[in-house]
Amino acid sequence: MTRMPKATAKPSRDRLSVRIDLAPGARIGPGKVAVLEAIAETGSISGAGRALGMSYRRTWGLVEDLNRSLGRAVVAAVSGGAGGGGAELTETGRAVVACYRAIEADSDKAALAHLKAFGLATG
Protein backbone atom coordinates (compact mmCIF):
# COMPACT_ATOMS: atom_id res chain seq x y z
CA MET A 1 0.00 0.00 0.00
CA THR A 2 1.39 3.40 -0.99
CA ARG A 3 1.53 5.90 1.86
CA MET A 4 1.03 9.58 1.18
CA PRO A 5 2.29 12.49 3.29
CA LYS A 6 0.05 13.39 6.20
CA ALA A 7 -1.87 16.64 5.89
CA THR A 8 -0.97 19.34 8.38
CA ALA A 9 -3.72 20.67 10.64
CA LYS A 10 -2.61 24.32 10.77
CA PRO A 11 -0.80 26.26 8.08
CA SER A 12 2.60 27.54 9.19
CA ARG A 13 2.08 30.75 7.22
CA ASP A 14 -0.59 32.66 5.30
CA ARG A 15 -2.01 30.58 2.50
CA LEU A 16 -4.99 30.26 0.23
CA SER A 17 -7.72 27.68 0.81
CA VAL A 18 -8.86 26.12 -2.47
CA ARG A 19 -12.17 24.49 -3.37
CA ILE A 20 -12.67 23.20 -6.89
CA ASP A 21 -16.23 23.18 -8.25
CA LEU A 22 -16.42 20.89 -11.27
CA ALA A 23 -19.16 21.13 -13.91
CA PRO A 24 -20.92 17.87 -13.00
CA GLY A 25 -21.45 19.23 -9.48
CA ALA A 26 -18.43 17.66 -7.85
CA ARG A 27 -16.67 19.67 -5.18
CA ILE A 28 -13.14 18.94 -4.13
CA GLY A 29 -11.71 20.91 -1.25
CA PRO A 30 -9.40 20.64 1.73
CA GLY A 31 -11.75 18.40 3.73
CA LYS A 32 -12.19 15.70 1.10
CA VAL A 33 -8.50 15.77 0.24
CA ALA A 34 -7.61 15.45 3.93
CA VAL A 35 -9.89 12.39 4.11
CA LEU A 36 -8.15 10.79 1.12
CA GLU A 37 -4.72 11.54 2.58
CA ALA A 38 -5.76 10.11 5.95
CA ILE A 39 -7.05 6.94 4.28
CA ALA A 40 -3.71 6.60 2.48
CA GLU A 41 -1.89 7.16 5.78
CA THR A 42 -3.98 4.91 8.03
CA GLY A 43 -5.03 2.25 5.53
CA SER A 44 -8.68 2.43 6.58
CA ILE A 45 -11.74 4.63 6.40
CA SER A 46 -12.46 4.30 10.11
CA GLY A 47 -8.81 5.08 10.92
CA ALA A 48 -8.99 8.16 8.71
CA GLY A 49 -12.11 9.31 10.53
CA ARG A 50 -10.44 8.83 13.91
CA ALA A 51 -7.32 10.68 12.76
CA LEU A 52 -9.44 13.61 11.57
CA GLY A 53 -11.86 13.59 14.51
CA MET A 54 -14.91 12.71 12.44
CA SER A 55 -17.36 9.85 12.47
CA TYR A 56 -17.05 6.85 10.18
CA ARG A 57 -20.37 7.84 8.64
CA ARG A 58 -19.14 11.34 7.78
CA THR A 59 -15.83 10.01 6.46
CA TRP A 60 -17.54 7.40 4.30
CA GLY A 61 -20.05 10.01 3.11
CA LEU A 62 -17.25 12.22 1.79
CA VAL A 63 -15.68 9.26 -0.01
CA GLU A 64 -19.05 8.27 -1.50
CA ASP A 65 -19.68 11.85 -2.63
CA LEU A 66 -16.39 11.83 -4.53
CA ASN A 67 -17.11 8.38 -6.02
CA ARG A 68 -20.57 9.46 -7.17
CA SER A 69 -19.62 12.86 -8.53
CA LEU A 70 -16.46 11.69 -10.32
CA GLY A 71 -18.08 8.50 -11.62
CA ARG A 72 -15.09 6.47 -10.45
CA ALA A 73 -14.00 5.00 -7.15
CA VAL A 74 -11.38 6.98 -5.20
CA VAL A 75 -10.95 4.29 -2.51
CA ALA A 76 -10.75 0.50 -2.84
CA ALA A 77 -11.23 -2.15 -0.20
CA VAL A 78 -8.20 -4.22 0.69
CA SER A 79 -8.76 -7.86 1.60
CA GLY A 80 -7.66 -8.61 5.12
CA GLY A 81 -6.12 -11.52 6.83
CA ALA A 82 -6.18 -12.08 10.56
CA GLY A 83 -6.22 -8.33 11.26
CA GLY A 84 -9.11 -7.60 8.91
CA GLY A 85 -9.28 -5.57 5.75
CA GLY A 86 -8.68 -1.97 5.06
CA ALA A 87 -8.79 0.62 2.32
CA GLU A 88 -6.39 2.27 -0.07
CA LEU A 89 -6.62 4.99 -2.66
CA THR A 90 -7.27 3.99 -6.23
CA GLU A 91 -5.36 5.55 -9.10
CA THR A 92 -8.21 8.07 -9.33
CA GLY A 93 -7.95 8.86 -5.61
CA ARG A 94 -4.20 9.40 -5.85
CA ALA A 95 -4.71 11.61 -8.93
CA VAL A 96 -7.33 13.71 -7.11
CA VAL A 97 -4.92 14.33 -4.23
CA ALA A 98 -1.94 15.08 -6.49
CA CYS A 99 -3.93 17.38 -8.77
CA TYR A 100 -5.54 19.22 -5.86
CA ARG A 101 -2.21 19.71 -4.07
CA ALA A 102 -0.60 21.00 -7.30
CA ILE A 103 -3.44 23.48 -7.88
CA GLU A 104 -3.28 24.49 -4.22
CA ALA A 105 0.49 25.10 -4.37
CA ASP A 106 0.26 27.15 -7.56
CA SER A 107 -2.69 29.15 -6.22
CA ASP A 108 -0.98 29.67 -2.87
CA LYS A 109 2.13 31.01 -4.56
CA ALA A 110 0.14 33.42 -6.74
CA ALA A 111 -2.02 34.64 -3.85
CA LEU A 112 0.97 35.11 -1.55
CA ALA A 113 2.62 37.45 -4.03
CA HIS A 114 -0.52 39.63 -4.07
CA LEU A 115 -0.93 39.54 -0.31
CA LYS A 116 2.70 40.56 0.19
CA ALA A 117 2.16 43.50 -2.17
CA PHE A 118 -0.61 44.71 0.14
CA GLY A 119 1.41 44.02 3.28
CA LEU A 120 -1.03 41.32 4.38
CA ALA A 121 1.16 38.23 4.22
CA THR A 122 3.51 37.01 6.91
CA GLY A 123 4.98 34.01 5.08
* Nearest residue to 66 via CA among 40, 92, 104: 92
CATH class of 20-117: mainly alpha
Mapped onto helix, strand or coil, the DSSP state of residue 105 is helix
Residue 121 neighbours by CB under 8 Å, 6+ apart: 13, 14, 112, 115
Helix-helix angle 91-117:56-70, to 10 degrees = 90
**Mind listing the pLDDT tens digit of every residue in the chain (123 residues)?**
444 444 445 556 666 789 999 887 889 999 999 999 999 999 999 999 999 999 999 999 999 999 999 999 999 988 776 667 799 999 999 999 999 999 999 998 888 888 888 887 665
The answer to whether the beta carbons of residues 17 and 99 sit under 8 Å apart is no
Q: Where are the domains of the chain?
A: 20-117
